[in-house]
Amino acid sequence: MEVNVERCHLVLTVTDLAHVDAARRSIIRHASQRSADENLLGRLTVVVQEMGRNLVIHAGGGELLLSCGDQRLDVIAVDRGPGMGNVAQCLSDNYSTTGTMGAGLGAIQRMSDGFDLFSQPGMGSVVQARFHLAPPPPGNGLVAGAVCTPYPGEHIGGDAWAIRGNRVLVCDGLGHGHAANVASQKARQVFLEHNPQLPLQALMEQLHRALMSTRGGAAAIAEVQPEQRQVQFCGIGNIAGTLLTDKGRSMVSSNGTVGYRIGRIHTFSYPWDDSSIMILASDGISTKIDYNAYPGLRARHPGVIAALIHRDHRRLNDDATVVVVKREH
């Protein structure tokens, strides 16, 4: 997993072909602030155009989600349309259900640096295209994906997340809007600058002290340790941590508000193996999720898993963040 320095998250509604052009311009504008690579921007233009047209023509509308950092950019198309009965057939350049040329999904796959999708007949689809803004750093055997969106109607989110090495942070600033954003971004800054040898309890204590000048929030830090076959988890407040193996298992957070009042800080250990999937979510995501309702989802890229959880289980009364980590295959 890369050191994640997220700087933008966009949620663009696409229900009409006119929205496709607007979404493309917005995404290219953000991408141009991070890369002057004409080849990359050209590929991205085609991918966003095809994703947007697919949402309108095949799904009756949906959303384009943009997440960009220093090293990569993800575009995810999310819909609740008719879905795909045969994904392999739909990826064929000559296949179309609407009389078009049928080159959309195939073009998206070819022009992306990373591609994945999940679809269920009658329940919609999630399509992810990933672009490398810089050469990928050496891997550590783990891969991650996330979706982070603000309270509906807000332009700035009160949640934040980050990854450094094998450690993951999710912070939910109290409330939403600017003051919540200040708290969560302060936590994120401390996390990205911390000594990676620091125990999780000590790191949480640093977050607590740093957030005393803010309104505070909930925070959780998890460290995946594949060689020890375990995950260490330290949480305060209502960040939900879940481990998926053959079934879901919740990880325990302590009561309190980081930056305001906390009790004793605890770190708990949980078993981890090559099939494990870790999910961290702010309380803008419902915890009542039946993962067995999505056959085959666990094999998908974490970005696709995160986007589907966000699509189906986001609460509309708060910022919403979900981060997914699994073994890289």
Residues with Cβ < 8 Å from 254, sequence gap 6 or more? 235, 236, 262, 263, 264, 265, 266
pLDDT of 233-288, one tens digit each? Answer: 999 999 999 999 877 899 999 999 999 999 999 999 999 999 999 999 999 999 89
Looking at the domain assignment, is residue 107 inside a domain? yes
In this structure, the answer to whether residues 214 and 240 fall within a common structural domain is yes
pLDDT of 73-116, one tens digit each? Answer: 999 999 999 998 766 666 655 544 444 433 478 889 999 999 99
**Domain extent at residue 100:** 3-132
Residues with Cβ < 8 Å from 286, sequence gap 6 or more? 313, 314, 315
pLDDT at 196: 92
- Alpha carbon 7 to chain centroid distance? 13
Looking at the domain assignment, is residue 43 inside a domain? yes
Cα(123)–Cα(82) distance, integer angstroms: 6
- DSSP for 108-139, please give it: HHHHSSEEEEEEETTTEEEEEEEEESSPPPPP
In this structure, the answer to whether residues 107 and 160 fall within a common structural domain is no
What percentage of residues in the chain have a pLDDT greater than 70? Answer: 91
* Amino acid letter for position 191: F
In this structure, the answer to whether residues 73 and 211 fall within a common structural domain is no
Give this prediction's pTM: 0.92
At which residue do the structure tokens 């999910």 appear?
279
In this structure, the answer to whether residues 95 and 187 fall within a common structural domain is no
The domain boundary, picked from 73, 103, 132, lies at 132
Which 3-state string (H, E, C) describes 269-310?
EEECCCCCEEEEECCCECCCCCHHHCCCHHHCCHHHHHHHHH
